[in-house]
Amino acid sequence: MKLKTQIVDMDTGGVQKILLNPVDITHLAMFAGERVLLKYKKLETVAIAESTSLVEQGNVGILDEVKKELGVTEGGFVEVTSDVKPTSILAIRKKMDGFPLKEEEIKAIVDDLVTGRLLDIDVAAFLVSEQILGLSLEETVHLTRAITERGEQLDFGTNVFDKHSIGGVPGNKVSLLIVPIVAAAGLLIPKTSSRAITSPSGTADTMEVLANVEFTVDELQEIVSKSNAAIVWGGALNLAPADDLFIRVEHPLQIDPRPQMIASIMAKKMSTGIQHLVLDIPTGQGCKVTTMEEARKLSHDFITVGNELDINVHCAMTYGSQPVGHAIGPALEAKEAMEALMGRGPTSLIEKSTGLAGILLEMGGLAVRGGGRKLAKDILASGKALEKMREIIEAQNGNPKITPKELPVGEQTYDLQAPSDGYVATLSNRALVRIARAAGTPKVHGAGLYLHAKVGSRVKEGESVLTIYSESEGKLSDAINVAKNLMPFTVEGMLLHTMTDTEQF
C-alpha cells in the first residue's frame, strides 16, 4: 500500500515507529503495535505501526527515527506492507530458549540488523540472551565473521600488527606511544580506534587533539603507505557497521556480553586485515575483569577465536586498579603522551606502553622472547618514536611541530584536597570516570582530571590530590558535586562519614 508521508516532529527515544489511520491498519490486515516494512526509493526499514485518527486515511505519519533512516520528505510516497517476521526473529527466540544457533541463523540476525529489519527491542532480546546464557566459542566465531562480512574490509598485505584494549581503565593513552614505537621499528601498524562510549576519552578522541582522525579507506591507505602507521577513528571507515548497531542498544541497557565483546573486537581486527594482535586486558578492582582467573579465561577465549580467524593473538593481563599515568581526558592525555614520547612521562605510562609494544616487537621477530621491552625502551629513548609520531601527525593533517605546552586545556579548575596527612589508600576508576564526564569529556577536549597523587603517594592535609579541568563554570560545578558525592580517593586515617542518631538508613 502506497501512503503519502506526513512528517511528525516527535522523538521516539530510538524506537522506529510510524502512525497510521485505523482504516489503513484494517486494510493492511494487521493490528496496532505490529511491525510493518517501509520502502522509500531504494531504502527500506522496519517500524512499529501505531493507530491514530490524527493521521488522515491514505497518509503515514513519519516520526524522527524513521525519517533519519529513510531520509523521507513531506508529501512523498512510502510503500507500506505488513511485515512477515524475518527468520532472524525465530533465531533470537531459539537463543532465548537456551539452544545453540547455527552459522546461517547468526548470519540472518546480523544481516537483518544491518538492513533495518530488526527493531531495537529484537536486538535487546538477543543481547540479553547473550548476557545471561552466553554463546559458545563456535557461535562467537560465526558472529565475528558475520559482523565482518557486512562492512568494508581493508587489505594492507601480510604481517600487519595491532594493539587493542578491552577498556575500563581511565587515562589509558598507551596507543599513542605503542604505535610510533612499533612503526619506528619497521612494523606495519594501522591503528583504527574507537571514540569513548562511557569512558572519559577513547584513543580516537585523544589523537584528535593532535591531528585529524576521520578518513576514507583510500585516504587511510595513503597515510599508512607514508608512515607505516596511523591512529584513526574506525567509525568513519564503515568497518563492521553491525557492531555499531549492537553497541547502540548495549549502551542504554548498560550491558557488555562477553561473547559480543569478543566478536566486536575481533571483527574490527579482521576488517582491517590484522594478522598479529596484542590484547590488553586490564585486571583488578573497578575493571571489567576483576580477577586473574577471569582474565585467563577471557584470554583463552580470545586466543581460541583468533586461531579460528587466522589472527595470532597474545593477551597481556595488566594492572588496572587505578588510571594509567596521571592525566584523564583528551587534551590532558595527549599532553602526557607527547611528554612521554619526549622522555619525561610518568613511569606507569612508559612501563605499560613499552611492555605491550615489546610483545609486538617479539611477535614481529625483531626481539627474542623477553627482549621486546628493552628494544621498545631503546626506541623510545632514542627519539625515534617521537620522530615517527610527528610523521604520523603530519600525515593526518596535524601540526608535526606541536609541543605539549601548546595543547589547550580547560581554564576552569578546582582542586580536591587531602583531608588529612597520610598515604593515598584507594582511587576509584568509576568515580574518576563519572567526574571527568561531568566536567565535559570526551566531547569537550579540554575537560578532564589530573592526579597529583596516586595509590601509595604520601600527602599532607590541604595538598591537592586531584585537579578538575573544565571549559565552563556550569560543567565544573557539576563535576565538583559529583566528586564530593562519590569521594574518588581515600587517604589513610581520613574520616569517611559521620552519622547522627537522627540520620535514616
Which residues are designated catalytic? Answer: 256
For residue 487, CA distances in Å to 142, 437, 491 come to: 44, 15, 11
Residue 348, exposed/middle/buried by CB under 10 A (0-12, 13-18, 19+)?
A: middle
Closest CA to 109 of 131, 132, 125, 97: 125
Among 489, 102, 95, smallest CA distance to 321 is for 489
Distance CA 346, CA 348 (A): 6
Pairing of strands 229-233, 327-328: unpaired
CB–CB of 67/7 below 8 Å?
A: yes
Three-state SS string across 207-266, please?
HHCCCCCCCCHHHHHHHHHHHCEEEEEHHHHCCCHHHHHHHHHHHHHCCCCHHHHHHHHH
Asked if residue 386 lies in contact with residue 342, where contact means CB atoms within 8 angstroms, the answer is yes
In contact, 160 and 275? CB cutoff 8 Å: yes
Burial of 140 (0-12, 13-18, 19+ CB in 10 A): buried
Find the DSSP H helices in 97-199: 103-114, 120-133, 137-149, 175-184
Overall residue count recorded for the chain in this entry? 505
Residues 484, 185: Cα–Cα separation, whole Å: 46
3-state secondary structure (DSSP) of residue 83 = coil
Count CB atoms within 10 A of the CB of residue 68.
11
Per-residue b/e over 390-411, b at no fewer than 16 CB within 10 Å?
A: bbbbbbbebeeebebeebebbe
Cell 587515562 -> residue = 171
Catalogue the E-assigned strands of 259-355.
276-283, 312-319, 327-328
d(CA 358, CA 179): 11
For residues 469 and 413, the answer to whether their CB atoms sit within 8 Å is: yes
The three grid cell numbers given for residue 472, joined into one nine-digit string: 565552563
Asked whether 352 and 324 are in contact (CB, 8 A), the reply is yes
